[in-house]
Copies of this chain bind each other. A is one copy, B any other.
Amino acid sequence: MSTAKTDKTQESGHPAEQDTRVRLLEAAGEVFAERGFHGVQIRDICALAGANIAAVNYHFKGKEGLYREVLKYAHHCAMAVEELQVAIPPNASAEQKLGVFVHTFFRSMLSGGRPSWNGKLLAREMIEPSAALDDLVMTEITPKFAMLRSIVAEMLGVAIEHPAVRWFGASVISQCLFWEHNKPVIQRLYPDLSYSDEQIRFIANHVVRTCTFAMVGARGKLDDYATWPESHR
């Protein structure tokens, strides 16, 4: 909505003047994740970042600009596709590949370098998609999902285009996302769950085992998946 008025801001990457800028980014990510875009007032962000109220307008041209930058920042810190590609040995068994995928997914989501607001921010984006979601799906999610599909297809013993692949792929992902997206309820249900690194490995192992059992059990019984009701009625 805001017409361009201050266009001559940081275009040329100056060396070390990004002090309050990144401080603002970190603080904003934390509170945006915690309370959502509308639930946050920039006065709080600036107080947390130790910056002046005018700083966010100076650096990001307003609250929305700040949010956009934060989102990019979060995506950039999230699990990168390249990280997966190098982590997965190309000539390993499908089950081993799945193990690497799931463990990497869990680690980057739940125990990554980012404090914790990374996943929350993305979860928020799932519920209330902003204009940035399309970009996110295309650049981040689709390539990762394609990788998973190839693994699943190998485990099921079918081609990657087989309709069953998408459903078993969803089974894998759903069991990963669950532990991040429903933390508040899960911690109330399981008070002894602290999301320590050990526990995360434990959970990831369970997911891998579960999916493996499901997929090897389903081999040769995938005919039902051909009769998918494309468009209803």
Instruction: State the A residues within 8 Å of B (CB).
Output: 34-39, 120, 123-124, 126-129, 133-134, 137, 141-142, 145, 166-168, 170-171, 173-175, 177-179, 181-186, 188-190, 192, 194, 196-199, 202-203, 205-207, 209-211, 213-218, 224-225, 228-233
Contacts of A210 in B (CB 8 A): 168, 171, 214, 218
Q: Give A180 Cβ to nearest chain B Cβ, in Å.
A: 10
Contact call A124/B127, Cβ cutoff below 8 A: yes
Contact call A123/B133, Cβ cutoff below 8 A: no
Of chain B, the residue at the smallest CB distance from A198 is B229
Q: Give A138 Cβ to nearest chain B Cβ, in Å.
A: 9
Bound-state Cα–Cα, A232 to B194, Å: 7
Contact call A232/B197, Cβ cutoff below 8 A: yes
Contact call A126/B232, Cβ cutoff below 8 A: no
Of the candidates B37, B145, B188, B215, the one whose C-beta lies within 8 Å of that of A189 is B145
Q: Give A19 Cβ to nearest chain B Cβ, in Å.
A: 30
What is the total number of copies of this protein in its complex?
A: 2
Closest 6 pairs between A and B when the two form their complex, measured CB to CB: A196-B232, A213-B217, A174-B178, A38-B38, A38-B39, A129-B184
Bound-state Cα–Cα, A198 to B190, Å: 34
Contacts of A189 in B (CB 8 A): 137, 141-142, 145
Known A170-B175, A194-B231; 7 more pairs at CB < 8 Å: A126-B181, A168-B210, A171-B175, A174-B175, A174-B179, A175-B175, A181-B181
Q: Give A210 Cβ to nearest chain B Cβ, in Å.
A: 4
Contact call A218/B229, Cβ cutoff below 8 A: no
Of chain B, the residue at the smallest CB distance from A36 is B36
Bound-state Cα–Cα, A205 to B224, Å: 10
Contacts of A230 in B (CB 8 A): 192
Of chain B, the residue at the smallest CB distance from A137 is B188
Q: Give A211 Cβ to nearest chain B Cβ, in Å.
A: 7
